[in-house]
């Protein structure tokens, strides 16, 4: 080793310790040095949680008080002060359990991540169950258990209504302020087109604004703007002030995905993934032990055992109640159909059901008696994609039929199909034989369960969605099924019908 003198040593410019970090890496920020923006964001989160807690508290108090008042009124002993005093005894425990379960379910999360009615119903049901067990263990005696299921009913009504009003009001304020989540789509041509179409199908009500795309393969703009190459994602996100990046390609290269996520997270940009059919199905997979390679078995999307018993019991109970309650309306519609055009009151549309076995799907007749014979001459005017046939101004529809179709009232006789065991209240919609014959093989997997009167189609865009998107929604429903999900879809069907979104 040569002998070095001090004069031979030259100062070396050492890089700072944080040189490896990007200049604007949001992850490098520390709480003591939070900027005003971060403090404002924290304040907004706190205000959101406090306001939602206050709404939930008020709704739970009102639910318990209403249940107690109805019970007292039924016994001709109603005194508001007494009911209020009893409610104050129950509220602290009920609200504590409910708020903890709500927090666990993400019901106080950010607007884009907050779940809907399904989680609300499930959390309130769990709260009722915990309260009931606690009361029984502590030796509480009740002449009936009305206070539990009565409060649950009103709590679902009040909490969901209060939160719906909150979402609408805050959404209106955000839209008035011009708030949009600016999103960039990344993927290949076909997938970008499909995801963009689904986001735009909401008719302008979606908080996501697609500002452009980055495609791995060349594709025409087709109404969307190309923002550049994937290698420039960091600069593109910064220049366009994007809030999130959506990966719209199930076959996106893994290494590029890792780099993409890291680059976006450096700038505080959210990365989301539009799921493929395989990603939806994989949630049903069960691990198969004892193999040299980890294997997962994909279970068929069917209802059996306790799931089938629960779903069938729910269907029969709700269908019976609906037929009884709606009987005057059904009678009026039957008379209107009978008196305004020739032909039977009901139209029996033979459609493939579970396992592809045909059954007569009942509907109020909305077309003239020769409608089936005129189908072929109208094929060229089909406005739907894939296997479906849809026309906004079908000349075969009668005047009364047009009104019934406008609000989907012609489907109500299918409640009889539910009682017969041919249909379910919620499930994949049965298609006419003409449409069924044009399905691809993977589409027909939806026929492994009973078809439904309504489903995720009806509450997610209906005729505004592509057929492949509708089939993927069916798969998603089958994977996530619960009684609470069925109840949520039934509730959401009502506004979807009255707003006539995608209906024709």
pLDDT tens by residue, 281-291: 444 444 444 44
pLDDT at 391: 64
Instruction: Give burial (CB, 10 Å; 0-12/13-18/19+) of 312.
Output: middle
Residue 305 is encoded by which pair of tokens? Answer: 């055992």
Q: How far apart are CA 171 and CA 164, in angstroms?
A: 10
- The position carrying tokens 């009305």 is 146
Pairing of strands 424-426, 452-454: parallel
Q: Are 74 and 153 in contact (CB under 8 A)?
A: no
In degrees and rounded to multiples of 5, residue 244 shows phi and psi of -155, 155
Instruction: Tell me the pLDDT tens digit for each residue of 411-446.
Output: 999 999 999 999 999 988 888 887 787 777 777 777
454 touches 493 (CB < 8 A) = yes
Predicted confidence at residue 46, as pLDDT, reads 82
The span from the CA of 310 to the CA of 302, in Å, is 13
d(CA 449, CA 486): 14
Q: List pLDDT tens digits, range 310-368.
A: 888 889 998 998 999 899 999 999 999 888 888 888 988 889 888 888 999 999 988 87
The pLDDT score that the predictor gives to residue 494 is 78
Q: How far is CA 387 from the centre of its chain?
A: 24
Name the pLDDT band for 21 (thresholds 50, 70, 90): very low
List, for residues 100-138, the tens digit of each pLDDT value.
999 988 888 887 678 777 788 889 989 999 988 888 888
Could you please report the per-residue DSSP string of 85-147?
Answer: HHHHHHHHHHHHHHHHHHHHTTTTS-GGG---HHHHHHHHHHHHHHHHHHHHHTT---S-SHH
Mind listing the pLDDT tens digit for each residue in 198-225? 676 554 455 677 888 888 877 776 677 8
Range with the poorest average pLDDT among 171-180, 220-229, 250-259, 267-276: 171-180
Instruction: Give 3-state DSSP helix, strand, coil % of the chain, rounded to 5.
Output: 55, 10, 35
Taking the C-alpha atoms of residue 68 and residue 316, their distance in angstroms, rounded to an integer, is 30
Q: What is the pLDDT of residue 419?
A: 94
Q: Residues 35-82: pLDDT tens digits? A: 444 455 667 778 888 999 999 999 999 999 998 898 888 877 778 888
Give residue 147's pLDDT: 83
Beta pairing, strands 181-187 & 244-247 = parallel
Give residue 387's pLDDT: 53
Tally of helices (H runs) and strands (E runs) in the chain: 16, 10
Q: Which of 177, 158, 137, 131 is nearest to 58 (CA)?
A: 158
pTM for the whole thing? 0.53
Could you give the percent of the chain with pLDDT greater than 90?
15
């Amino acid at each position: 080793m040569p002998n070095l003198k001090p004069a031979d040593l030259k100062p070396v410019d050492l890089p700072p310790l944080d040189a490896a970090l990007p200049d604007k890496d949001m992850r490098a920020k520390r709480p003591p040095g939070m900027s005003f923006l971060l403090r404002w964001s924290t304040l907004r989160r706190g205000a959101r949680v406090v306001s939602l807690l206050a709404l939930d508290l008020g709704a739970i108090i009102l639910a318990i008080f209403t249940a107690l008042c109805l019970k007292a009124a039924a016994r001709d002993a109603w005194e508001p002060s007494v009911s209020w005093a009893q409610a104050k005894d129950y509220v602290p425990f009920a609200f504590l359990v409910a708020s903890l379960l709500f927090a666990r379910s993400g019901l106080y999360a950010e607007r884009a991540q907050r779940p809907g009615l399904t989680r609300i119903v499930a959390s309130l049901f769990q709260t009722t169950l915990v309260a009931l067990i606690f009361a029984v263990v502590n030796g509480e005696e009740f002449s009936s258990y009305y206070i539990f299921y009565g409060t649950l009913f009103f709590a679902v009504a009040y909490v969901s209504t209060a939160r719906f009003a909150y979402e609408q009001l805050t959404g209106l304020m955000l839209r008035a302020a011009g708030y949009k989540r600016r999103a960039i789509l990344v993927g290949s041509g076909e997938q970008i087109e499909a995801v963009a179409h689904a986001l735009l199908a909401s008719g302008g009500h979606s908080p996501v604004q697609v500002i452009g795309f980055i495609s791995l393969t060349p594709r025409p703009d087709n109404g969307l703007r190309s923002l550049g190459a994937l290698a420039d994602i960091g600069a593109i996100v910064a220049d366009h002030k994007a809030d999130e990046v959506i990966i719209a390609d199930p076959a996106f290269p893994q290494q590029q995905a890792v780099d993409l996520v890291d680059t976006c997270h450096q700038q505080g940009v959210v990365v989301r993934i539009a799921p493929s059919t395989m990603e939806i199905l994989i949630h049903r997979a069960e691990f198969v032990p004892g193999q040299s390679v980890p294997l997962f078995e994909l279970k068929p999307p069917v209802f059996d055992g306790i799931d089938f018993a629960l779903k069938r019991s729910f269907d029969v109970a709700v269908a019976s109640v609906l037929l009884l309650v709606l009987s005057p309306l059904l009678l009026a519609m039957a008379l209107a159909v009978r008196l305004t055009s020739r032909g039977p009151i009901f139209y029996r549309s033979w459609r493939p059901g579970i396992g592809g076995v045909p059954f007569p799907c009942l509907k109020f007749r909305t077309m003239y008696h020769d409608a089936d014979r005129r189908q072929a001459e109208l094929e060229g005017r089909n406005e739907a994609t894939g296997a479906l046939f849809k026309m906004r101004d079908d000349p075969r529809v009668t005047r009364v039929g047009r009104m019934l179709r406008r609000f989907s009232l012609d489907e109500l006789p299918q409640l009889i199909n539910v009682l017969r065991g041919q249909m379910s209240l919620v499930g994949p919609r049965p298609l006419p034989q003409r449409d069924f014959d044009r399905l691809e093989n993977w589409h027909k997997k939806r026929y492994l369960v009973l078809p439904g009167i309504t489903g995720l189609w009806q509450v997610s865009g209906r005729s505004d969605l592509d057929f492949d998107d509708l089939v993927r929604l069916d798969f998603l429903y089958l994977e996530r099924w619960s009684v609470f999900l069925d109840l949520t879809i039934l509730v959401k069907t009502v506004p979807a019908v009255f707003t006539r979104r995608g209906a024709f």
